[in-house]
Amino acid sequence: MTKLHLTKCELEVMDIVWKKGRATVQEVVDSLERPLAYTTVMTTLKILDETRNVVNKKKEGRAFVYEPAVSREKVSRSMADDLTQRLFGGSVKSLLLSLVGSDSMSQSDIEELKQAIQSLEKDA
C-alpha cells in the first residue's frame, strides 16, 4: 500500500470533501470550522490533487470541483500503520494497549472493540 500521510490542514480539507462527496474551493472554505483563507484552501486542494493524488479535479463552469480519489478508510489505515511503526515499533498490540489505557474510551467504544476482537477470533 502506498503511504498516505496527510497534514492536519490537508485532513481538515479532505474531511469536507469526504463528507460532501464533491466540493469547490468556496464550499470547502464555507464548511471549515476554523477560518482559512480562500487561497490557502485552494493551495491545499492543489497539493491534494497534484502531489498526494487523493482528490480528482474537474472544471465545471468557472470553478474546479474536487472529488475524493481515495477513501477515508484507506488514508486512516495508512496513517495508523505509519504511527504504529514510528511510535510502537510496529506492534499493533502496543498501540491498542496505549489507546485502551487512555481515559478517552467510552463504554460504547469498549463494546465495539470487544465485537471486533470476537470477529477476529472467529476468522482466525
The C-alpha atoms of residue 59 and residue 77 are separated, in whole angstroms, by 30
Q: pTM higher than 0.85, yes or no?
A: no
* Helices 38-50 and 8-20, packing angle to 10 deg: 80
Instruction: Quick: pLDDT tens for 8-64.
Output: 999 999 999 999 999 999 999 999 999 999 999 999 999 999 999 999 999 999 999
Q: Report the CATH number of the 1-90 domain.
A: 1.10.10.10
Which residue, 2, 74, 13, 79, is CA-closest to 45? 13
- The whole-angstrom separation of Cα 48 and Cα 65 is 13
Please name the residue that has the C-alpha cell 474546479: 64
CATH 1.10.10.10 range(s) for the chain read: 1-90
